[in-house]
Amino acid sequence: MIKRSLELLFLRARSQYHPLTPDLIEAIWKCCTQKHEEITRASLEILKELVQYVGLETLELIFQHVNQTKQEEFTELHVNFLKNYTINALKNVYGTQARMQKQQMQQTVEGSQKGAVSYGKTLTNFFKTG
């Protein structure tokens, strides 16, 4: 059941209207602690995949949970999760930055085009009246 919920969680992670809430992240994290190994594995897999699509606040929340985990509670599953979390979080952050830069460039180009059109109209009007 946990593995099957991944697609629904992806939809929520990408939704503006029903994003992943801190309570939902808390519930998934609780499945990772002191549970059967397969439940822990599946829950960590879900978090690892979701990290690519969530906002910075959610990334920070997940990291806080990892950071609060006692060293003696860390298993190989947690170590692998931490590696994959880091990789996917960096992809998320750099991807977000790249998208923001692209949007800024598009806005600059659109602004330049509008300015050029306006300047062209001004020149046309000048020559018509002159």
Q: Which residues of the chain have pLDDT under 70?
A: 1-19, 34, 96-101, 107, 109-130
Q: Given the structure tokens 């209207």, which residue do they identify?
A: 17
88 within 8 A of 48, measured Cβ to Cβ: yes
Q: What is the pLDDT of residue 26?
A: 84
pTM comes to: 0.60
Q: Where are the domains of the chain?
A: 3-129
**Maximum distance among all Cα pairs of the chain, rounded to whole angstroms:** 85
| pLDDT score of 128 | 67
Alpha-carbon gap, residue 70 to 74, rounded angstroms: 7
pLDDT given for residue 18 in this prediction: 58
Structure confidence at residue 44 (pLDDT): 87
Could you give the 3-state DSSP secondary structure of residue 33? coil
